[in-house]
Amino acid sequence: MSTHLYLKKMREKFNNISKKNKTIIIVLIINLLIIITAHDYFLVSADYVNGDLFKPLSEKKKEKKIEFIKENPDYEMDDMETYEVGRNTRKTYQIKKDLEIINTFTSKTKYLTLVRIRFYNPNPESIKGSVNVYIKDESGEILGETNLPISKIGNKRMTDFSFTGNTEYINSNRIIDFNVINEETKGIKAKGQDLSVVMEVKGFEGENFAVYLSNDRKDDNQPQMYFVQRGNNVAASAA
C-alpha cells in the first residue's frame, strides 16, 4: 500500500472517531510531545560516594549487613558501605578554631544540588560559629555557596549543604528523598567537571566539634572529608 493510500485510510478512520475521543487523542499527543521536547525538566536525584553511584539496599540486605558488622567488630567498611548502613567512618578531624578544608571531586550528575557532610557535634547549643560550604571550579570561580550555623548541625548524621537555597529547611525537617523534581531545583550545572568542595568554619567558639574523615581517600596535606555528592540527572540517564 502506498503512503498516500495509507494516510488517506488513517484519515478516514480518524474522522469516524467520536469528537470526545478525538479530543482525548489530541491531548495525549500534545502531552507526549511536551515530554519529548522538554525532557530536561524531568529530573531525578542520585547520590555518589567517591564517584560511585549509591544504590540503597533493601531493608533485608541492610539488616543482614548491620548484623554482620555487629558480629565482626574489626571489619573495616569502605565509604560506600558506611553510607549504605548509615554508620560513622573510623576517624574524625577535630575542629578547634576557624579553618578551611578543601577536597576535590568530579561531578557525576548533570546538576549538583547538595553536598552531604557528616559531623560529630554532641552539644550543638554550646558552640558558636557557622560552616560555610562552597563549590569551586578549576579556575577558582565559586559556582555555589551555602552555610549553616553549627548550632543547627546534627550529631553523627549527614548534614546537607544545599545549592538550591534551602539548607536550613532541609536539615530542620530532614526532607530527603529521591523523587522526581522540577526545573526550579536543578542546582549547579556541573556534569563531568573537576570541582572543589570547600568547607570553611567561621567564628568558632566551643569544643567537641569534628568532621568525619573518609575511610578510603588519603592525603597527607589535606584532611579528606567523608562527604557525598547529590545531584540531578535527566530521568532516562540517572542510572
- Rounded Cα distance, 67 and 69, in Å: 5
Global confidence as pTM: 0.76
Write the pLDDT tens digit of every residue in 33-72: 555 554 455 667 899 999 999 999 999 999 999 999 999 9
**pLDDT value of residue 202:** 97
CB contact set of 85 (below 8 Å; sequence gap of 6+) = 57, 62, 65, 66, 69, 77
pLDDT for 239: 43
Q: What is the mean pLDDT of residues 93-110?
A: 95
Task: Measure the CA–CA gap between 174 and 178, rounded to whole angstroms.
Answer: 13
d(CA 162, CA 174): 12
User: Do β-strands 52-53 and 188-189 pair in parallel, antiparallel, or remain unpaired?
Assistant: unpaired
pLDDT tier at 218 (50, 70, 90 boundaries)?
Answer: very high
Q: What pLDDT sits at residue 184?
A: 44
| The predicted structure's pLDDT at residue 15 | 65
